[in-house]
Amino acid sequence: MTGELSPIDKAKFVAAKKAVEFVEDGMRVGLGTGSTAAWLVRCLGEQVREQGLRIKGVPTSTRTAELAREVGIDVMSLDEARWLDLTIDGADEFDADLNLIKGGGGALLQEKIVATASDQMVVIADAAKEVEHLGNFPLPVEVVPYGWQTTQALVEEALVSMDVMGRKATLRMNGARPYITDEGNHILDLHLGRIGNARQLAMVVNQIPGVVENGLFIDICDQVVIGYGDGRIEVRDINEGTVNEDRLEFVESDNLFSDI
Residues that bind ligand 5RP (CB under 6 A): 32-37, 89-92, 102-108, 111
CA angle 128/96/83 to nearest 5° reads: 95
State the nearest-atom distance from the C-beta of 54 to ligand 5RP, in Å.
26
Nearest distance from C-beta of residue 47 to ligand 5RP, angstroms:
20
Residue with smaller CB distance to ligand 5RP, 57 or 106: 106
CB 45 within 8 A of CB 22: no
Measuring CA to CA, how many Å separate 16 from each of 39, 74, 76, 234?
Answer: 6, 19, 21, 12
Q: Which of 46, 111, 142, 213 is catalytic?
A: 111
27, 74, 171 from 136: Cα distances, Å: 35, 37, 17
- Which residue number, 36 or 47, has a Cβ lying nearer to ligand 5RP? 36
Phi, psi of 177 (to 5 degrees): -115, 160
Spatial distance between the Cα atoms of 174 and 17, rounded to a whole number of angstroms: 31
Judged on CB neighbours under 10 Å (0-12, 13-18, 19+), 82 is exposed
The nearer residue to ligand 5RP, 68 or 154, going by C-beta atoms, is: 68
User: Minimum distance between the CB of residue 161 and ligand 5RP, rounded to whole angstroms?
Assistant: 27
Collapsing DSSP to helix, strand or coil, 162 comes out as: coil
Q: Output helix, strand, coil percentages for the chain, rounded to the nearest 5.
A: 30, 30, 40
Q: Which is nearer to ligand 5RP, 39 or 235 (CB)?
A: 39
Task: Please state the closest distance from residue 123 (CB atom) to ligand 5RP, in A.
Answer: 8
The yes-or-no answer on residue 132 being catalytic is: no
Minimum CB distance to ligand 5RP, residue 228 (Å): 15
Of 92 and 234, which CB lies nearer to ligand 5RP in the complex structure? 92
Task: Please list, in sequence order, all residues whose beta carbon lies within 8 angstroms of the beta carbon of residue 241, skipping any fewer than 6 positions away.
Answer: none
Q: Which residues are catalytic?
A: 111
